A and B are shown apart, each in its own frame.
Chain A
Amino acid sequence: MKLECKHVWGYISDYIDDSVDPAVREDIERHLEHCEICSAILDSTRNILILTADKRTFEVPVGFSEKLHRRLEEEMKKEPKLDEK
């Protein structure tokens, strides 16, 4: 099936997740071969996801881990038994 750009945009997210069915995937890839606009939208969206997943983009506050483990230590001291319910 020949896809138009606006159809491809609707599939970009699922395409990145590899969750479109194989026939649609083929149609999308055929479209991308000749459409610079959709290719750039796909690339930019995927690159944004790569940047998002990079640990340098979203970091935990300094000292978070140390404070957490101190608090856990206190909890362990006061709780002789874990709730096994």
Chain B
Amino acid sequence: MGEIRGAEIQPHQFAAMTTGKQSEAETIGRILAGEKELFHDLIRPYERMVYLTVFSVLRNETEAEDAAQIAIINAYRHLGAFRADAKFSTWLVTIAMNEARQKLRREKRAVLESIEETVEESTGDYTPAFLTDWREIPLEALERKELREALQKAVTELPDHYRQVFSLRDLQELSIQETAEALSMTPGLVKVRLRRARIMLQKKLVPFLKKTPPANRGWFGRAR
């Protein structure tokens, strides 16, 4: 994928910018009242999220770009249907997910996926890979293009229903509940799929991790 352009403002920054003076809900109200141009500002912090949501379904940059644009235009057209008690980001992700799935259906690429979705695999190897020598600092690891590319590839190659859950939860950092709502599934199923997706990735990436010498052991330790 190319370099980041636009979408530089994060949702929390936008929230901070607008707190008190102009909340997101107020902005939506003003857009609906006729100040349409404000939609540009409203959507800017969420552009990346929408793109990554549709990419997690379509796995193709060009198609994802088009679907993300359509999803955002749909959000603009139907902004009046947004309920103030809902979270704007979750509403947007749901629209993006629907658009991407519809695109798949239109192209009849979703047939196998829907069969897969009905059966939650109870078998399969969900054992993590063993390693004892990788505690690399993530920021340093990111400088390694090879590792970033391996991670992109590993995520893209996850089975559809694992990739979609993983993408919403770990790439876009939605909560378990928001992920469940966006994908119309129970939080329990989100957790199961997330667990398997994370183990699959850990396993796939261990060969790359093993090449890295241990750095500052203990700096990035276990939970809390």
Question: A10 on the interface (CB 8 Å rule)?
Answer: yes
Least distance between A6 CB and chain B CB atoms (Å)? 8
Q: Return the CB mask of B68-107 against A: 1 if under 8 Å, else 0.
A: 1100110011111100000000000000000000000000
Query: With A43-B134, A48-B198, A62-B3 known to touch, is A57 a contact of B151 (CB < 8 Å)?
Result: yes
Is A15 a contact partner of B223 (Cβ separation < 8 A)?
Answer: yes
Q: What count of chain B residues pass the 8 Å CB interface test? A: 69
State whether the Cβ of B52 lies closer than 8 Å to any Cβ in chain A: yes
Residues of B close to A12: CB separation below 8 A: 128, 195, 198-199
Query: Looking at chain A's contact residues, is the secondary structure mostly helix, strand, loop, or mixed?
Result: helix
Nearest chain A CB to B152's CB is how many angstroms away? 7
Contact status B40-A17, CB under 8 Å: no
Find chain A residues with CB under 8 A from B57 CB: none
CB atoms of B77 and A83 under 8 A apart:
yes
B195: A residues at CB distance < 8 A: 10, 12-14
Q: Is B185 an interface residue (CB 8 A)?
A: no
Select one of B76, B132, B152, B176 contacting A36, CB under 8 A: B132
- Interface size (A, Cβ < 8 Å)? 55
Chain B residues whose CB sits within 8 angstroms of the CB of A43 once the complex forms: 134-135, 220-222
> In the complex, are the beta carbons of B36 and A9 less than 8 A apart?
no
Which residues of B does A touch, CB under 8 Å? Answer: 1-7, 31-32, 36-37, 39-40, 43-44, 47-48, 51-52, 55, 61, 65, 68-69, 72-73, 76-81, 127-136, 138, 141-142, 147-148, 151-152, 155, 166, 170-171, 173, 176, 191, 194-195, 198-199, 201-202, 205-206, 209, 220-223
